[in-house]
A and B are shown apart, each in its own frame.
Chain A
Amino acid sequence: MIDITNLSKRYKVYLRPADRIKEWLSGGRKICHREFWALRNINLSIPPGVALGVIGQNGAGKSTLLRILTGVTKPTEGSFKMGDRVVSLLELGTGFHGEFTGRQNILMNGRLLGLSREEIVERLDEIVAFAELGEFIDLPMRTYSAGMQLRLGFALAASIDPQVLLIDEILSVGDAYFQQKCAKRMKAFKERGVTALIASHDLVAVKSLCDAVALFHEGRVIEVGKPDDVLDLYNALIAKQSSGSKPHMITRGVEQEGGGAGRRSGNFGAIISRVELLDERGESRGILVAGQKVTVAIRAMFFEAIEDPTVGMLIRDRLGLDVFGTNTFHFGHRLGAFVSGEVLEIEFTMVLDVGPGDYTITVAIHTLDVHVHECFDWVDRVLSFKVIPSGDFQFVGVAKLYPVVRWSKRPGELEESSFGEMFEDAPARLSMDERSEKFLLQGWYEGERNEAGAFRWSRQNCAFALRPKTNDLRVEVVMTRLDAGDRPLDGAVQILEKVIGRFSLKNSGPQVLSVRIPDAYVNQIIPIGISLDSFWRPCDTIPGSRDTRELGLAIREILAE
């Protein structure tokens, strides 16, 4: 929960350093500074489980707000209330020190974020695993890329189990894979009732992460609402700023038939007077088939003389994400000079190779390549339409591509040559130390260590590469599961898809799992898999544990020699 009431922040601006001395010496009687209000009367209330996006141009007050909420600076007026555990990610690598390794930085920064040393040590493995930095985790942070710093920062913040999460303009740095991972974690946060405030210029990220958006402009909140509506207004605002001295009007959206609330903005030197979506026969349609040929017909009316206007169209999906947009400028079409009273009719005809779903069309008339130069009329979501699946083939996603599908089938013999090339030197014995790492194929957690040496937890299913010297495959298990009492833990060992043996282990305690390898595989490099009937999570079993890993067996050694 975040509750912000009448919050204002004033900065004093001194033009020269001497002015401050004058003011000090006069004991405050003489005022030599100008006031600058970075925030004016902000009222926002964000309930638990809601992510609020904060957008606005540079200097709109986004960062100031986050700084106040973080406690970095004090508000001049007003107040705010928040949950207890607040985690803020205000900038990449905040508080990270370049000369220390990732691991050392986790320890030091965890303290700055309010964790006790024990808590950090407890979560270290989880943080390291989430950041996925590989061996970089033990290298100095100055060797990290921006994306890697972000990964570590987010992993650390994510491990803290916050009630409130404050994020400033950083999520866009990570690669697509990590962004998805963050988005997933953000979703989990929201489900747990975490309140998030995300300031960003990355409108796509805001759209996909936030439930509501607040638009800041010159220190004030000028709109709070559904992401789509507020982002449209933001767009219009940017256009307005560059329209110069001409009046620029922004209208409230009118409810459309399709449910969209289109907003209209521009100086209305020309207006879009009609937009239609037509099928091949020229009939107006609201429902179309994926892959159908359609025409967006636009009519514009001129109220002043305009040279070479640009007309553009944009298709957005249900979430408001841009699917496709272009304009006459990008096609190199010069439309010529228009005088007041003239009408322009223009058609975009295209094959609608998009996925099934709901879409909207936004059209605009402006100058040059984008609407920010001078915008005459921009109509958001003027039309909406639905695309239904076509008869030829089913698919998911936003784009309909036309793949050519080929396949072949062969007997599933083990190909020693291709697998062997990857693991030329596979041993007959895998001790779970660093050297074994490259032979662990999938389904393993980071190595751990106890008094008796190195071991690793497997997941429910795991696989490794081995070159057995004998038929006797032995897997030395340190521990199975701590829950489930006397019930045995069943599983199977397989090579490729073929089960070579089944086993039943007793719960907990050291034991050896023994399976016979068929003669054909002896002295071959082979992938061996162990699959269990179940997994367990320490956090479900051990009171106070935050370990959410899905564990199988703790294995110390695998050998066939």
Chain B
Amino acid sequence: MVGHRDLLLNFLVRDLKSRYAGSLMGIVWNVIHPLAMIIIYTMVFSRVMGAKLPGMSDVYGYSIYLCAGLLPWNAFVEVISRSTTVFLDQAWLLKKMSFPKKLLGGSIAFSSFVNFLIGFSIFLVFLVLTGHRLRVAYLALPVLLILQFTFAFGLGLILSALNVFLRDISQLVGIGLQVWFWLTPVVYLESILPEGARGFFQLNPMYHFIRGYHSVILDGAFPSWSTLGIAAMLSLISLTIGSAIFFRLKDEIVDEV
């Protein structure tokens, strides 16, 4: 992929620009969407429902908990669901031009990453405005993010290749992501899980990533080495399997779309 940096950049710019091309405010929507989400959750949970985190006096506590998990989760969902259908969406391009097909998946991951960074920066500004200090532990965020997007990219590769041959996969992914969401402590707190179920939840790869974000943003603590280690291993496994499956199927993809 490195040899095609230009082309990847081209796809990336094209994807980012085309998201809101033709709309009046264009790229500004990239900022408005996450901003709206943060404001709505804050209003609803802090002001209307008065939800609080146990052991935390901060009125914004729950909103911050929610956003810290939801922003990365949404980015993950975006990568997975867009990757799954990418070859069918871009069939016309695949059939007419020759280029490394991996780039399409790569550009989605990068584009989501850029989009996520915009949203996350707004979240950080919100944190500062509500009187939180940015701490040293935040330096762990880039590491977590890169690992998460690598994980998503690898998984996306698998799903994108398989979906060309078995179109039911994109439907399954839609449902699967919903189930997966509720199996991950994003909305609810980990502490409400029954003791016996904790081990089961640890099998969920996203559990480790989200846990990492929570520990950095809520506790201001570096994620534990075990969390980072598991995250790194997961992304490595995902990338390896993804590449292997993709390599095996890539020549047949264009004949099927």
- Assembled-state Cα–Cα distance A90/B93 (Å): 10
Which size class do A's interface residues fall under? 20 to 34
Quick check: A70 and B167 within 8 Å, CB to CB? Answer: no
- Assembled-state Cα–Cα distance A70/B167 (Å): 27
- Interface residue ranges of B165-188 to A (CB < 8 Å): 165-168
- Assembled-state Cα–Cα distance A116/B17 (Å): 21
Which size class do B's interface residues fall under? 20 to 34
Q: How many A-B residue pairs have CB under 8 A?
A: 63
B98 to chain A, nearest CB (A): 3
> B71-102 CB contact bits vs A (8 Å, 1 = yes)?
00000000000000000000011111111000
Quick check: A72 and B17 within 8 Å, CB to CB? Answer: no
- Assembled-state Cα–Cα distance A71/B96 (Å): 9
Binds B, one of A92-100, A205-213, A217-225, A517-525: A92-100
Is B202 among interface residues, defined by CB-CB distance under 8 A?
no
Quick check: B10 and A111 within 8 Å, CB to CB? Answer: yes
- Assembled-state Cα–Cα distance A72/B7 (Å): 16
Quick check: B7 and A111 within 8 Å, CB to CB? Answer: yes
- Assembled-state Cα–Cα distance A124/B11 (Å): 20
A9 to chain B, nearest CB (A): 9
- Interface residue ranges of A90-121 to B (CB < 8 Å): 90-91, 94-95, 97, 99-100, 108, 111-112, 116
- Assembled-state Cα–Cα distance A97/B17 (Å): 11
Quick check: A108 and B96 within 8 Å, CB to CB? Answer: no
Quick check: B22 and A91 within 8 Å, CB to CB? Answer: no
Quick check: A90 and B96 within 8 Å, CB to CB? Answer: yes
B67 to chain A, nearest CB (A): 31
Quick check: B14 and A108 within 8 Å, CB to CB? Answer: yes
Other-chain residue from B13, B17, B98 in contact with A71 (beta carbon distance below 8 A) = B98
- Assembled-state Cα–Cα distance A547/B166 (Å): 51
- Interface residue ranges of B199-224 to A (CB < 8 Å): none
B26 to chain A, nearest CB (A): 10
B132 to chain A, nearest CB (A): 39
B84 to chain A, nearest CB (A): 16
B29 to chain A, nearest CB (A): 14
Nearest B residue (CB) for A67: B95
Contacts known (A11-B255, A74-B251); A94 close to B167, Cβ less than 8 A: no
Quick check: B97 and A95 within 8 Å, CB to CB? Answer: yes
Nearest A residue (CB) for B19: A99
Quick check: B254 and A94 within 8 Å, CB to CB? Answer: no
Quick check: B96 and A17 within 8 Å, CB to CB? Answer: no
Other-chain residue from B6, B96, B168, B255 in contact with A95 (beta carbon distance below 8 A) = B96
Contacts of A17 in B (CB 8 A): 165-168
Quick check: B98 and A111 within 8 Å, CB to CB? Answer: no
B91 to chain A, nearest CB (A): 11
Quick check: A99 and B254 within 8 Å, CB to CB? Answer: no
- Assembled-state Cα–Cα distance A72/B257 (Å): 12
Contacts of A111 in B (CB 8 A): 6-7, 10
- Assembled-state Cα–Cα distance A100/B13 (Å): 12
B204 to chain A, nearest CB (A): 26
Contacts of B255 in A (CB 8 A): 11-12, 73
- Assembled-state Cα–Cα distance A88/B93 (Å): 13
- Interface residue ranges of B1-31 to A (CB < 8 Å): 6-7, 10, 13-14, 17-18, 21-22
Contacts known (A20-B165, A73-B255); A112 close to B92, Cβ less than 8 A: no
Quick check: A99 and B22 within 8 Å, CB to CB? Answer: yes
Quick check: A70 and B254 within 8 Å, CB to CB? Answer: no
B97 to chain A, nearest CB (A): 6
Is A21 among interface residues, defined by CB-CB distance under 8 A?
yes
Other-chain residue from A74, A99, A112, A140 in contact with B10 (beta carbon distance below 8 A) = A112
A174 to chain B, nearest CB (A): 19
A270 to chain B, nearest CB (A): 46
Contacts of A11 in B (CB 8 A): 255
Contacts of B96 in A (CB 8 A): 70, 72, 88, 90-91, 94-95
Nearest A residue (CB) for B7: A111
Nearest B residue (CB) for A104: B17
Nearest A residue (CB) for B168: A17
Quick check: A95 and B93 within 8 Å, CB to CB? Answer: yes
B103 to chain A, nearest CB (A): 11
A143 to chain B, nearest CB (A): 11
Quick check: A20 and B166 within 8 Å, CB to CB? Answer: yes
Contacts of B13 in A (CB 8 A): 108
- Assembled-state Cα–Cα distance A251/B87 (Å): 47
Quick check: B10 and A97 within 8 Å, CB to CB? Answer: no
Contacts known (A70-B97, A72-B98, A73-B254); A97 close to B14, Cβ less than 8 A: yes
Contacts of A100 in B (CB 8 A): 14, 17-18, 21
> B109-123 CB contact bits vs A (8 Å, 1 = yes)?
000000000000000
Nearest B residue (CB) for A93: B92
- Assembled-state Cα–Cα distance A111/B167 (Å): 31
Contacts of A20 in B (CB 8 A): 165-166
B14 to chain A, nearest CB (A): 6
- Assembled-state Cα–Cα distance A94/B96 (Å): 7
- Interface residue ranges of A336-392 to B (CB < 8 Å): none
Quick check: B99 and A112 within 8 Å, CB to CB? Answer: yes
- Assembled-state Cα–Cα distance A95/B94 (Å): 10
Contacts of A116 in B (CB 8 A): 6
Contacts of B21 in A (CB 8 A): 97, 99-100, 140
- Assembled-state Cα–Cα distance A111/B251 (Å): 23
Contacts known (A97-B14, A100-B21, A108-B14); A72 close to B254, Cβ less than 8 A: yes
A157 to chain B, nearest CB (A): 13
Quick check: A112 and B94 within 8 Å, CB to CB? Answer: no
B4 to chain A, nearest CB (A): 10
Quick check: A91 and B98 within 8 Å, CB to CB? Answer: no
Contacts known (A91-B92, A99-B21, A99-B22); A112 close to B166, Cβ less than 8 A: no
- Assembled-state Cα–Cα distance A126/B168 (Å): 48
> A41-82 CB contact bits vs B (8 Å, 1 = yes)?
000000000000000000000000001001111100000000
- Assembled-state Cα–Cα distance A252/B21 (Å): 59
Contacts of B6 in A (CB 8 A): 111, 116
- Assembled-state Cα–Cα distance A74/B255 (Å): 9
Quick check: B98 and A21 within 8 Å, CB to CB? Answer: no
Nearest A residue (CB) for B166: A17
Quick check: A70 and B92 within 8 Å, CB to CB? Answer: no
Other-chain residue from A70, A97, A108 in contact with B98 (beta carbon distance below 8 A) = A70
A169 to chain B, nearest CB (A): 12
17 A-B residue pairs with CB within 8 Å: A17-B167, A67-B254, A72-B95, A72-B98, A73-B254, A88-B96, A88-B97, A90-B97, A91-B92, A95-B97, A97-B21, A99-B17, A99-B18, A99-B22, A100-B14, A108-B13, A112-B97
**Apart from A70-B98, A140-B22: 14 A-B pairs, beta carbons within 8 A:** A11-B255, A17-B166, A71-B98, A73-B255, A88-B96, A88-B97, A91-B92, A94-B93, A95-B93, A97-B18, A99-B18, A100-B17, A112-B10, A140-B21
The residues of B with any CB-CB pair to A shorter than 8 Å are: 6-7, 10, 13-14, 17-18, 21-22, 92-99, 165-168, 251, 254-255
Shortest beta-carbon contacts, A-B, top 5: A71-B98, A99-B21, A94-B96, A90-B96, A99-B22
